[in-house]
Amino acid sequence: MRFNAAVLRDRSVTFAVVIVKPDTLRSIHEATRQQIGLAPAFPGIPIVLMAQDDSGAPIFHGRKDLVSFMGNVRLDAIRWREYRHGI
């Protein structure tokens, strides 16, 4: 599987932000399943999922403190990179 993500740091917390399709965030079950599936790609760090709504506004799922932090981050300032994970 290929996906775009970035590893960021907020004070003392390093975490990953992974871009997913909006449908993934419409279900807490599916979002959590995605986080669990992506965990081996980012061992030991929390994962925040990000999608964009129909207007292009970002939507986040993950730890509340990290989601709050991401609300203040300019997405165009993030260095996204392509990851490969799994088969």
Q: Which CATH number covers residue 47?
A: 3.40.1350
**Strand ordering across the sheet containing 81-84:** 58-61, 47-52, 13-19, 2-10, 81-84
Above 70 in pLDDT, residue 87?
no
What pLDDT is recorded for position 84? 86
Q: Is residue 84 part of a domain?
A: no
Q: Is residue 83 part of a domain?
A: no
Burial bucket for residue 2 (CB in 10 Å: 0-12, 13-18, 19+): exposed
CB 25 within 8 A of CB 61: yes
> pTM (2 decimals)?
0.92
Domain that holds residue 54: 2-78
Provide the number of structural domains found in the chain: 1
pLDDT per residue over 21-74, tens digit each?
Answer: 999 999 999 999 999 999 999 999 999 999 998 898 999 999 999 999 999 999
Q: Is residue 87 part of a domain?
A: no
Q: Do β-strands 13-19 and 2-10 pair in parallel, antiparallel, or remain unpaired?
A: antiparallel
Q: Is residue 41 part of a domain?
A: yes
Grade residue 11 by pLDDT with cuts at 50, 70 and 90: confident
